[in-house]
Amino acid sequence: MTDPVVFCKACYAPDYYNNKSRPSSEYSECPNKKWNDCSKEKHKILCKPDDSKDERYCRCDARKGFSPVNDLSRTMCNYKNYDCKDNYKCPDLPNGKAQQLLLNYTCAPVCDEGFDRLDEDSDVCLPINITTSEIKEGESTDTSLTQATVTTIYQKPGCDDGCDEYSFCYNGTCVCQNSCPATYDPVCGYNAESKTYKTFPSNCDLRRNYCEERQFVYHSRGKCITECRKSAYLALIRSTLEYSAIVWDPYIEGDINKLERIQRQAARFITGDYRSREKGSVTNMLESLKLTPLQDRRRTSRLVFLYKVAGGLVPAIHPSDYLQTVTRKRQIRAKSYSDFQVSNIVEKQVINNTRGFSVKHCKSEQLKNSFFVKTIIEWNHLDDRVVRAETTEGFKSALLHD
């Protein structure tokens, strides 16, 4: 025998309501009482002021800076009783710009001068002289598009026929948003022209980017798979390839190419492109992913470590034990050719800065390519503005832009 099913269409008592999450077979009358206090003293406003049956259906007055005290922080209109925070104030941004409370009780930058959030159902910033009644019927006021925006009018065709899904319309003009809430709910965007993916902090940031630049469109929720794969490569593979690399940095071309081949294979894995075979395709992938050649990264690491040794920042290695300063007499620059490499006898005599060090005389290839010998030669080639950097970060930055 099955339980009887009761279809409760409406509550006969005005102070009770149905909990829609419960099936009607579980009750024979409306079980939940409307005990919410929607008075102005509680800093609440009615959600349906024209409906007398919903006099206890309300929310905190976010426009005046009030938000729920308890765990109903995301709750907007509700019959349940909860208190509102008195004069809740959003903290200022690090750049000093003030913030205000939105209808969903999150914080966002205040509107620019001449704009304000005039609509009680949307967080879009509209010009103060434009009222919400002037927004034509059918035009977009979706908060997912316009939430926490400071609007900027872009030169677009009139919106009598409506705007696209990335903008909204008022006063006959399509408008884009130029700021979004400081929340992190990443989405992945795809650029069909460059065939690249990019992760945006939120859907609002993605829509704003497309509205302004017409580049990335929505692809999927969460971080882009390319960025996840790139993070995995950097954390698990490249970190292993570079462990203590300043000590074992290879000098034989075959060994260097073997290491570079690993990163080139990783570029195909990250982008998911295993079919491109035209000349330069993998190089373009590496550039788009901003993956610097491993050989260049090892060179940078060696020079940075030598900078620390020369500055006495490595207690275990005393500078006087390995480095002997020399005075620059005249500037010598060895010729270099782009089409081939040659070991120039003048190369190790070049000193282009006032912090040059003497190069140890070597006979074996192993000693010639050891850390101090090879790195000191490269150090002596640097300009004076690079080696005279005051901090390690300053040296590294000058080195990358040298």
pLDDT value of position 135 = 38
Angle between helices 294-310 and 253-271 in degrees, nearest 10: 110
Tokens found for residue 219: 């692809």
pLDDT, tens digit (0-9, with 9 covering 90-100), for 227-266:
889 989 999 999 999 999 999 999 999 999 999 999 999 9
Collapsing DSSP to helix, strand or coil, 199 comes out as: strand
Could you give the C-alpha distances from 8 to 25, 32, 121, 125, 305, in angstroms and in order?
9, 13, 31, 42, 77
Could you give the C-alpha distances from 198 to 235, 238, 380, in angstroms and in order?
19, 21, 40
Angle between helices 253-271 and 281-288 in degrees, nearest 10: 70
Element (H, E) at 298: helix 294-310
Tokens 């008075």 label which residue?
39
d(CA 289, CA 173): 38
d(CA 176, CA 167): 5
Task: Specify the higher pLDDT residue, 279 or 123.
Answer: 279
pLDDT value of position 140 = 39
Q: Tell me the range of 22-31, 49-58, 97-106, 157-166 where mean pLDDT is highest.
A: 97-106
Structural contact between residues 163 and 155, judged by C-beta atoms closer than 8 angstroms: no
d(CA 296, CA 286): 14
Arithmetic mean of pLDDT, 177-187: 73
Task: Specify the higher pLDDT residue, 140 or 88.
Answer: 88
Structural contact between residues 60 and 105, judged by C-beta atoms closer than 8 angstroms: yes
Structural contact between residues 147 and 153, judged by C-beta atoms closer than 8 angstroms: no
Task: Specify the higher pLDDT residue, 43 or 126.
Answer: 43
Structural contact between residues 16 and 28, judged by C-beta atoms closer than 8 angstroms: no
DSSP assignment letter at 360: P
pLDDT, tens digit (0-9, with 9 covering 90-100), for 125-173:
666 654 334 433 334 333 333 333 333 434 344 566 667 767 766 566 6
Share of the chain above pLDDT 70, in %: 65
Q: Who contacts 336 (Cβ-Cβ below 8 Å, separation ≥6)? A: none
pLDDT, tens digit (0-9, with 9 covering 90-100), for 258-314:
999 999 999 999 988 888 888 888 999 999 888 999 999 999 999 999 999 999 999
Structural contact between residues 57 and 46, judged by C-beta atoms closer than 8 angstroms: yes
pTM score, whole prediction: 0.52
Average pLDDT, the chain: 76
d(CA 63, CA 105): 10
DSSP assignment letter at 19: -
Arithmetic mean of pLDDT, 16-40: 64
pLDDT value of position 339 = 55
d(CA 16, CA 208): 44
> Residue 102's pLDDT band (boundaries 50, 70, 90)?
confident
pLDDT value of position 71 = 52
pLDDT value of position 167 = 73
d(CA 206, CA 166): 9
> Residue 24's pLDDT band (boundaries 50, 70, 90)?
low
pLDDT over 90 at 351, yes or no: no
Listed range (155-159, 172-176, 319-323) with the worst mean pLDDT: 155-159
Listed range (70-79, 87-96, 153-162, 367-376) with the worst mean pLDDT: 153-162
pLDDT, tens digit (0-9, with 9 covering 90-100), for 194-225:
777 888 888 888 888 887 777 787 777 788 88
Element (H, E) at 297: helix 294-310
Largest CA distance in the chain: 106
